[in-house]
Amino acid sequence: MTKNNMSKIPQNVIWYAQFKDGSIIKEYDDNGKETLFTEILDRRSDIVYFALQDLKNNRSYGIELNSGSFILQGLPINIGKDVGGYIMNFTHLKDIDYSSGLIQYKAAVPIALSVKPVKAKPKAFNIGYDVKLKNFIYPLNDGSSIEVLRVKPILSLDSRTFLPSIAISMSIKKTLSNGYVKTFNM
């Protein structure tokens, strides 16, 4: 995308999807025409890479949907979390279709308070996935076990600083050694 074409785009960050056949669909094309995220969802199983493109600094932050790994400026980041002393890795899992739970949204704040409707300016651009896991069970030393039911990592790109961050939420079922079961979100 050239500097002249960037002036037609109303924001400094756009998403884009790369498909198995090598084709790419961007949130805004070179003429400034918007593609809605819902328009690519019919082809989500064919998406191999979904990313945010920082147009100001020419940097890309994405998700490799074959593995669930996040890619920050070309570096793969595996997604995991320490639960009960165990590092649970949520990338490269068999039988998980990461593209099925693909997420994209903008966190917005109003530009100014007004009686007229005001278009909100994105504060952050977010991509990630929300997937259910099957038989993802970790036994603990005390005889209890933890089963991760779903995982939702989100990559967020701040619209002012253009710094990325990743947050992970998940639903867990803990079975105690006495058989008591507790389900909670982290």
pLDDT digits (tens, 9 = 90+) for 130-176: 999 988 888 888 888 888 999 999 999 998 899 999 999 999 998 98
Instruction: Give the tokens for residue 93.
Output: 């899992």
Write the CB contacts of 160 (distance below 8 Å, at least 6 apart in sequence): 123
Q: Which domain holds residue 134?
A: 3-185
CA dihedral 18, 22, 28, 29 (to 10 degrees): 170
Give the per-residue pLDDT at 88: 82
How far the first Cα of the chain sits from its last, in Å, is 40
Q: What are phi and psi of 5, to 5 degrees?
A: -70, -30
pLDDT at position 20 is: 97
Split into its structural domains, the chain has a count of: 1
Pairwise CA distance, residues 101 & 173, whole Å? 20
| Distances, alpha carbon 111 to alpha carbons 47, 54, 61, 93, 123, in Å | 34, 21, 26, 42, 10
Which pTM value belongs to this model?
0.84
DSSP H helices in the chain: 3-6
